Amino acid sequence: METIFDYEDIQLIPRKCIVQSRSECDTSVTLGSHKFKLPVVPANMQTIIDEEIAYYLAENGYFYIMHRFQPEQRADFIKGMHERGLIASISVGVKEDEYPFIQQLADEELIPEFITIDIAHGHSNAVIQMIQHIKKQLPQTFVIAGNVATPDAVRDLEDAGADATKVGVGPGKVCITKIKTGFGTAGWQLAALKWCAEAASKPIIADGGIRTHGDIAKSIHFGASMIMVGSLFAGHEESPGRTIMQNGKLYKEYFGSASEFQKGEKKNVEGKRMLVEHKGQLQDTLTEMEQDLQSSISYAGGNNLAALREVEHVIVKNSIFNGD
Ligand SMILES: NC(=O)C1=CN([C@@H]2O[C@H](COP(=O)(O)OP(=O)(O)OC[C@H]3O[C@@H](n4cnc5c(N)ncnc54)[C@H](OP(=O)(O)O)[C@@H]3O)[C@@H](O)[C@H]2O)C=CC1
Ligand SMILES: Nc1nc2c(ncn2[C@@H]2O[C@H](COP(=O)(O)O)[C@@H](O)[C@H]2O)c(=O)[nH]1
């Protein structure tokens, strides 16, 4: 890889505008055989999404991925979403008991439209075997596999049958993988995304490290089809994290899926907990994201997301501090 950079080091270069209004810019994206309003998905974490939010997002045309931390509720969740005519998008791990669960879904003809294999170190035989198992039992299901950090990993998971791969090891706001292990894409997530996207023949989902709405446009520029976002979705009225009052201010908790708060024990901890200022309604953030992305598209001189791939960029180290 030639150059290392991250989100704050990049600026996209505007091209001549072709729209009369930003409202003409289309932020929709297709993943598999489904079209969504935004190329953004809330992280499949317990303080970011619950069944109610999943239902709201699906009903309103947004992509969602339900987390895997209440495994016994997943079959009923799929049934419930299908009864409402909505897509079912769940997560699985790779431990032994996930194999009969997938078999059960096949036997009961409960076919989720999307399954995400949600593992810290996705470049592994455990993930490859799970992809193959899902593809054998549920061939119509779109399988997202991750997380990975290298072109080799993307190729291996695609070869195993993954329909999309998720890139990002350790760049998340509540991640401590870099500190605990010395590994990951923290600090160079955007360059890792570019590196992986160049090797990919299927969609890439950028995961972690999104701090501003502009980072969504930058992710698309460097090859992402979809962007997974945790911290920017934490702290809303609807967010499942506990609400906490401190010094007269309202906060909500946001913790890592590999934190002791999630695991209930201090074993292989690679995540932490933080408090996020209360932000109001989730829909307000989704609307602002859409408007900002429409604006990005207009600066790119187009009227849809494809324009973001075509612009040029410059690397300006620490440019986030200029003009803010
Ligand atoms: N995107 C990211 O950067 C990261 C995300 N996470 C999130 O934390 C959650 C827990 O992740 P994870 O621990 O993978 O899930 P699990 O706790 O479900 O572990 C899955 C399986 O993989 C094994 N495993 C986990 N890490 C490794 C590793 N580094 N090398 C070899 N085997 C491993 C585990 O065994 P054993 O525990 O015995 O090793 C277990 O059998 C997930 O939701 C994940 O997305 C966690 C860290 C980084
Ligand atoms: N290293 C860890 N990464 C984690 C953990 N829990 C979740 N995650 C990853 O973070 C992103 C969200 O990142 P953000 O910057 O948008 O907040 C999430 O999608 C996971 O991939 C964890 O405990 N450790």
> Counting atoms of ligand 2 from 1, which one is nearest the CA of 146?
21
Quick check: CB of 74 below 6 Å from ligand 2? no
**Confidence at residue 261, expressed as pLDDT on a 0 to 100 scale:** 94
What is the pTM for the complete model shown? 0.96
Quick check: CB of 170 below 6 Å from ligand 1? yes
Contacts of 285 (CB under 8 A, 6+ apart): 232, 233, 236, 279
**Confidence at residue 320, expressed as pLDDT on a 0 to 100 scale:** 57
Ligand nearest to the CA of 234: 2
Give the strand pairing for 29-31 and 34-36. antiparallel
**Confidence at residue 282, expressed as pLDDT on a 0 to 100 scale:** 98
> Counting atoms of ligand 2 from 1, which one is nearest the CA of 231?
17
| Rounded-to-integer distance, Cα 197 and Cα 205, Å | 9
Q: What is the mean pLDDT of each run of 10 residues along the chain (324 residues)?
A: 90 98 98 98 98 98 98 98 98 98 98 98 98 98 98 98 98 96 97 98 98 98 98 97 92 97 94 96 98 98 98 84 52
What are the catalytic residues? 175
Tell me the ipTM for this assembly: 0.95
Ligand nearest to the CA of 116: 1
HSE on the CB side for 265, CA within 13 Å? 2
- Ligand 1 centroid–CA 290 distance in Å is 32
- Ligand 2 centroid–CA 172 distance in Å is 4
**Confidence at residue 317, expressed as pLDDT on a 0 to 100 scale:** 79
In the chain, domain spans: 10-315
**Confidence at residue 322, expressed as pLDDT on a 0 to 100 scale:** 53
SS3 label, residue 320: helix
> Counting atoms of ligand 2 from 1, which one is nearest the CA of 44?
19
Q: Tens digit of pLDDT for each residue in 260-314?
A: 999 999 999 999 999 999 999 999 999 999 999 999 999 999 999 999 999 999 9
- Ligand 1 centroid–CA 121 distance in Å is 6
Residue listed under structure tokens 């980072």:
215
CATH 3.30.160.270 fits 10-315, yes or no: no
Contact 234, 276 (CB under 8 A): yes
**Confidence at residue 103, expressed as pLDDT on a 0 to 100 scale:** 98
**Confidence at residue 319, expressed as pLDDT on a 0 to 100 scale:** 62
